[in-house]
Amino acid sequence: MPKRLPKGGPFLLQGGRVLDPARGWDGVEPIRVAEGRIVEAFSENGPEPVVLDASGWWVLPGPIDLHVHLREPGGEESETVASGLQAAVHGGITAVGAMPNTSPPMDTPGEVRALLARARASGAARVIPCACLTVGRAGTRPADLEALANAGAWAFTDDGATPADPAVFEAALTMAAALGRPVLDHALDPSARGHLHAGRRAAALGLEGIPSEAEFRIVERDVALARKTGGHVHIQHLSTRESVALIREARRAGWPVSGEVTPHHLALCEEDIPGLDSRYKMNPPLRSPADRDALREGVADGTITVLATDHAPHSERAKRRPFPEAPPGVIGLETALGVTHRILVETGLMTPLAWTACWTTGPAEVLRLCPPTLRPGAVGDLVLFDPQREWTVQPERFVSRSRNTPFEGWLLRGKPVLTMVEGCIRFADPVVFDRMRGRR
């Protein structure tokens, strides 16, 4: 057994169940990694590979989390690029879509380049910049989308808000379409005010609620404009059954619309909120059991093609404010695979291959990226996932700087044990050492 992890291989993974949606493959096969890529065979004159027995584990192409808040610059107390990307690899995520609601917001090419430089320095997950849709995220005029794309932005969003003026949204969507970039929309009426879903729980706690209509009316607008312009609109963090129905209809009609759902909206509903506990405060809010069930059905039937965390770290100080004053948002990078495996796979709603697709080919399709795959020639991004590993969510052990999770104390079965990015091991559970042999 190696005394320490080799930095870059070569590696031979044997006996694992390979789940590769890009080529429709679900079966046992060896995976070889060398010089940062998946290879068909090792060089005869190269070094001896490190061999890892992956029996009983799943081998996944590198998962992508399309919706992550890294907070830097401006919110380093809650998260930094380095801590967020380290949390990602610990959670089995190899690439994250970084949201632009930083301070200053990511609405200039310089801010895009600075994010990419911080990500490279982290030595963890890769980052996919999602720059501002409008200048300063103010919703009044489109940002210079072409310059942002040239600097490395793969998508545009004012996440945390949406332009209230449909004409502004249409103009920006038209510009993004010309660049071949999607618009990711926080589909919630900017005039909506409230702290929980406008339902029984908000009434019982005496809090103002956010009605479902505040979301699905914006989804209606977005679908209509996607149809009109041909621009791809991706609806972030869906929460209502009406929104799911709208996206189902749009996709059946062939319009360029997609959607995502978070682990917390799949796992929880308003009835799970224990009281004035701000770890359960998020935007959009947890809605009714019927809404939660519609989200699960939408993922299971292929209407919703993307799972994403909306990882929104906040400091303990901020979350300890009185409920109406506490910021909305929960973290999710280190629990995402475990929670969604429990809700979708263990219950039989999805096959392991279909679940993997929602973390790999689904987000790649939205971003027009090459789909993650374990086919020879592909970049060496992969995760080993132990579907039988039982573990308890303990926020104090998180790598993230924040602890605001509603899943504290949950017993999960299914956990990443190794994450590889560009052929280099970025995270390994101690159990991996017990299964390694070969080059020291």
Residues 240-255 pLDDT 10s: 999 999 999 999 999 9
- Distance from C-alpha of 183 to C-alpha of 60, rounded to nearest angstrom: 27
Token readout for 21 is 């949606």
CATH homologous superfamily for the domain 63-367: Metal-dependent hydrolases (3.20.20.140)
Residue 106 · residue 115 · CB < 8 Å: yes
The distance between the two most distant Cα atoms of the chain, rounded to a whole number of Å, is 71
pLDDT at 5: 59
CATH 2.30.40.10 in the chain: give the residue spans. Answer: 11-59+378-437
The contacts of residue 254 (CB under 8 Å, 6+ apart) are none
**Residue 431 φ/ψ region, left for φ over 0, alpha for ψ in the -120 to 50 degree band, beta for the rest:** alpha
What residues are annotated to the active site?
310
- At 357 the pLDDT is 99
Consecutive H or E run containing 417: strand 411-421
Pick from 8, 11, 7, 118: which is nearest to 436 by CA?
A: 11
Percent of the residues in the chain that have a pLDDT greater than 90, as a whole number: 95
Q: How far apart are CA 294 and CA 215, in angstroms?
A: 15
- Total residues belonging to the chain: 440
Residue 60 bridge partners (DSSP):
383
Residue 214's Cβ-side half-sphere holds a number of Cα atoms within 13 Å equal to 22
Q: Is the domain covering 11-59+378-437 a CATH 2.30.40.10 domain?
A: yes
* Range(s) of the chain covered by CATH 3.20.20.140: 63-367
How do beta strands 31-34 and 233-235 pair?
unpaired
Cβ-proximal residues to 128 (8 Å cutoff; 6+ apart), any chain: 64, 66, 95, 96, 97, 98, 154, 155, 367, 369
DSSP-derived secondary structure for 57-101:
SEEEE--EEEEE---TTT-TTT--HHHHHHHHHHTT--EEEE-S-
Q: Can you tell me the distance from the alpha carbon of 57 to that of 359, in angstroms, rounded to the nearest whole number?
A: 17
- Give the bridge partners for 383, in sequence order: 60, 419
pLDDT digits (tens, 9 = 90+) for 43-90: 988 899 999 999 999 999 999 999 999 999 999 999 999 999 999 999
**Sign of the C-alpha dihedral, residues 102, 103, 105, 106?**
negative
Supply 429's token pair. 């559970």
Instruction: Write down the mean pLDDT value for the chain.
Output: 96
CB 203 within 8 A of CB 211: no
Q: What pLDDT score was predicted for residue 1?
A: 33
Per-residue pLDDT for 439 more than 80? no
* Beta strand residue intervals within 218-347, DSSP E: 233-235, 257-261, 306-307
